[in-house]
Amino acid sequence: MAQLAAARGTADVVLIDIVEGLPQGKALDIAESAPWAGFSTSIVGTNDWAATAGSDVVVITSGVPRRPGMTREDLLGTNAGIVRSVVTNAVRHSPDCVLVIFANPMDAMCHVALEASGFAKERVIGQGGMLDSARYRTFIAMETGASVRDVAAWVLGGHTEATMVPIVSNASVGGVPLTQLVRPKPLAALVERTKRGGAEIVGLLKTGSAFIAPAVATLEMVDAILFDEQRILPCCTLLGGQWDVRNAYVGAPVLLGAGGVQKVYTPPLAEDEVAAIRAAGKAVRELVAATPKA
């Protein structure tokens, strides 16, 4: 994310980590690419939150992966504690920022960040739907042979295999309904591949997970906020009755601009898709209930 953000030249970048030398080394490496990459963005690495003061957007990537022997509750407790600490420090130095949550489990960590920050819900946004939708659109382009630029399709709901909802009912390629372009069996396989998109990358890499697609997806959100682009994007937001889902961070189409989420949309969906989104909301609430409190 830092490398791509610096190369775009749209904003100054500060990398922060608790490990001494790590953010400084990463930032210096990126800075030294500037002469040939052709950007003049300022990029700084630090262990001191003071260097982040006045940030417009703070992207929270902190957390640990699940390790052998670690229960879901262990992971939730560890990452919740990390996210609380990071958010508390971030908002102390940048009280007017918008928080973009990338830490996992993302849906639950949005709730943790909202509570720790004291912000309005519009200023705490999860990234999940952006990455999942990018994968969905990519797989549709592969299946149809069309340019990915002409694919309009989103993934809503949660950010796990069990809770994400690739929307078929209004997906299209160049305005042509997806259901007219892909037969039911390969279409079902395409939806399942989208749900397993992260696991597919992990299975291929063996020693890590995806980097580039998540970074680009997140930066689209950052730019929309920084430049008040008024983009309608699939982001994780706190729903307040949309599709009868309340008090749960769930992926939905939002109008993203200055200050964060400016509006949440509820386009007409198939009955099974609405039911799946409601199930995602229930799953998120259960995950939040299992998250240890501060």
CA-to-CA distance for 280 and 152, rounded, in angstroms? 22
Answer whether 39's CB lies under 8 Å from 253's CB: no
| pLDDT given for residue 66 in this prediction | 67
Side-chain-side CA neighbours of residue 213 (13 Å): 16
Q: pLDDT by residue (tens digit) across 266-278?
A: 999 999 999 999 9
Q: Give the pLDDT band (50/70/90) at residue 79.
A: very high
At 147, list the tokens: 């340019």
| pLDDT given for residue 42 in this prediction | 96
Q: What residues contact 62, with CB distance under 8 A and at least 6 apart?
A: 79, 82, 83, 86, 103
Q: pLDDT by residue (tens digit) across 94-131?
A: 999 999 999 989 999 999 999 999 999 999 999 989 99
Sorted by where each begins, the domain ranges of the chain are 2-126, 128-290
Same fold, 2-126 and 128-290: no
State the DSSP string of the chain.
-HHHHHHHTSS-EEEE-SSTTHHHHHHHHHHTTHHHHT----EEEES-GGGGTT-SEEEE-------TT--HHHHHHHHHHHHHHHHHHHHHH-TT-EEEE-SSSHHHHHHHHHHHH---GGGEEE-HHHHHHHHHHHHHHHHH---GGGEE--EEE-SSTTTEEE--TT-EETTEEHHHHS-HHHHHHHHHHHHTHHHHHHHHHSS----HHHHHHHHHHHHHHHTT--EEEEEEEEEESGGG-EEEEEEEEEEEETTEEEEE------HHHHHHHHHHHHHHHHHHHHSPP-
Domain 128-290 has CATH 3.40.630.30: no
Position 273, amino acid: E
pLDDT score of 168 more than 70: yes
CATH topology for the 2-126 domain = Rossmann fold (3.40.50)
The overall average pLDDT reported for the chain is 95
Q: Give the pLDDT band (50/70/90) at residue 17.
A: very high
CA-to-CA distance for 252 and 122, rounded, in angstroms? 13
| pLDDT given for residue 81 in this prediction | 94
Q: Which of 135, 159, 195, 285 is catalytic?
A: 159
CA 206 to each of CA 81, 201, 203: distance values in angstroms, whole numbers, following the listed order: 28, 8, 5
| pLDDT given for residue 73 in this prediction | 66
93 is catalytic: no
Say which residue the tokens 């390629």 belong to.
Answer: 173
